Amino acid sequence: MGEKEVVIITGGSGFIGSALINKLAGHFTLVGLDKIPARQPPPAAECVCIDLTSEEGMRGAFARINTAYGKSIASVVHLAAYFDLTGEPSELYEQITVRGTERLLKHLQDFAVEQFILRRYAERNAIPP
């Protein structure tokens, strides 16, 4: 059998990201991108620490991915984000969810990505109780 295809999951240590990694384990080579080194994704994924707000950090993370896995990525599942339920404007939402996603997409342009899945962040527009 050949090498397994690479799947990158941002937010891999979160509730949804961890469940997805556990579901895909054994079928793909998994890379979890996360800022919080204390909470690592499940063991089936390599944890690559990133900060979506840092250009330098993103460069380093994608250099690691390129060195370890090459330029071919079957799928990127983008779950990492900041949200709150207040409905108030948030600088963290802008920096992490909006600009961080833009930065992620910019760095992915150097790779052959077959599929990009973005979790929709409807919570941002939630009406507080």
Q: CATH code at 62?
A: 3.40.50.720
Each residue's pLDDT tens digit, 79-111: 998 877 787 888 998 999 999 999 999 999 999
Q: Tell me the per-residue pLDDT of 59-85, one tens digit each, with 9 for 90 and over.
A: 999 999 999 999 999 999 999 988 777
0.75 exceeded by the pTM?
Answer: yes
Q: How many domains does the chain have?
A: 1
> Is 115 inside a domain boundary?
yes
What are the Cα distances from residue 10, in Å, to 88, 89, 127? 25, 23, 26
**Phi then psi for 99, rounded to 5 degrees?**
-70, -35
> Is 45 inside a domain boundary?
yes
CA-based angle 9:11:12, to the nearest 5?
60
- As given in the structure block, the two tokens for residue 87 are 């409905």
Give the domain extent around 53. 6-121
Strands 112-113 and 29-34: unpaired
For a pLDDT cut of 90, what percent of the chain falls above it? Answer: 65
Task: Look at residue 117 and tell me if it is in a domain.
Answer: yes
User: Nearest 5 degrees, angle CA 9-CA 12-CA 18?
Assistant: 115
Q: Would you say residue 41 lies in a domain?
A: yes
